[in-house]
Amino acid sequence: MSAAAMLELNGVVIDDTFAEAFPMKATRLVITAHNATWANHAAVALTGFATSVIACGCEAGIERVLDPGETPDGRPGVAVLIFSMSGKDLAKQIERRVGQCVLTCPTTAVYAGLDAAPDADRTALGKNLRFFGDGWQISKVIDGRRFWRVPVMDGEFVAEETTPVVKAVGGGNLLILAHDTEAALGAAEAAVVAMRALPNVILPFPGGVVRSGSKIGSKYASLPASSNDAFCPALTPLAKRTELTPEIGCVMEIVIDGLTDGDVAAAMRVGMEAVVARGAAAGVRRISAGNYGGKLGPYLYRLHALLGKGGAGVSRSNAPRLRNGLAVQSQPPGA
């Protein structure tokens, strides 16, 4: 390894590599309810089965709990972020998830949660769901924002007509390589706590952690992704290519989606710092990241630079992209 590859902090080796992320479209919704319990019920349901765009249609998560003073109607609330690969896909997921998980949940209301310019892209929020009112729905415009009031059995469901859609970034990631499961989970949990304290990001997998990291493509033509075998400890002595050494017994991944490339970078930085703070004594040997040689997405997050060890933390690649294992025409960063 080169000197740069041997960066070691508190006994934890930081690989000289980068995480590769790609453009997404995103919005923030604010869900409120009679109390925090019911706002949380709706938010948990809305963000369920939203771990990966590979099969879920979107990636979503709870960003944070809101005090009544932070919500449009002065009630307890929850902010959620939803990411998808296109504005059209995002619109479809918003309508389905709000219609089935928020409209149905007792006492809830839903509002747009992003500040945006008047000419910003927007997509329907309550605009189509209002028709559930079967003609009894009414609207009111307050400070230039239209809200729909739909009669339901506990009173009325209030939904803002539209929500802004912004360019965002998905697929930031960290790989935590540890001696055993206990050490890997402990480090991942500490990193998740630190990362979730930041705004504008979500960690879409269960508990913020994923064990089934994937690579693009598969030996089976119908599968767009398959197990990241280079990081599977069971294959260390068997696979033609491995990124592991015999002392690595468990690898956990944390995936990050953010509203900007800077948000993803900040989350990756604090996540690594949380792991490093525990040190090698806690069983973590290395921190690495998943990438596809710059061919998946334009956002390249270099681990050493994120920790202040030279260079820009985020750079852009114009290499041809891969999508579902196929090369596609390159797009400008952030497109």
pLDDT tens, position by position, 36-70: 999 999 999 999 999 999 899 999 999 999 999 99
Summarize the confidence of residues 317-330 as an average pLDDT. Answer: 41
Instruction: Decide if pLDDT at 333 tops 60.
Output: no
Strands 109-112 and 326-328, bridge-based pairing: unpaired
C-alpha torsion 150→151→156→158, nearest 10: 0
Q: Which helix (H) or strand (E) holds 266?
A: helix 261-278
Q: Which residue has the higher pLDDT, 330 or 107?
A: 107
Size of the chain, expressed as the number of residues it contains = 335
Report the phi/psi class of residue 143: left, alpha or beta, with left for phi > 0 and alpha for psi in -120 to 50. left
Residue 331 has what pLDDT? Answer: 36
Considering only residues 324 and 309, tell me which one the structure prediction assigns the higher pLDDT.
309
Rounded to a whole number of angstroms, the CA Rg of the chain reads: 21
Please report which confidence band the pLDDT of residue 320 belongs to, taking 50, 70 and 90 as the band edges.
very low
Work out the average pLDDT over 26-35. 98
Q: CA 56 to CA 58: how far, in whole Å? A: 5
The sign of the torsion formed by the CA atoms of 324, 327, 329, 333 equals positive
Distance CA 184, CA 304 (A): 21
Per-residue pLDDT at 332: 31
* Stated pTM of the model: 0.91
Amino acid in the structure at residue 64: R
Distant-in-sequence, close-in-space partners of 164: CB < 8 Å, separation ≥ 6 = 27, 112, 114, 115, 116, 120, 121, 122
For position 277, what pLDDT does the model report?
98
According to the model, what pLDDT value does residue 294 have?
72
Q: Percentage of residues in the chain with pLDDT exceeding 90?
A: 84
pLDDT digits over 278-287, tens only? 999 999 999 9
Looking at the DSSP assignment, which residues form a beta bridge with residue 117? Answer: none
Q: Which of helix, strand or coil describes residue 158?
A: strand
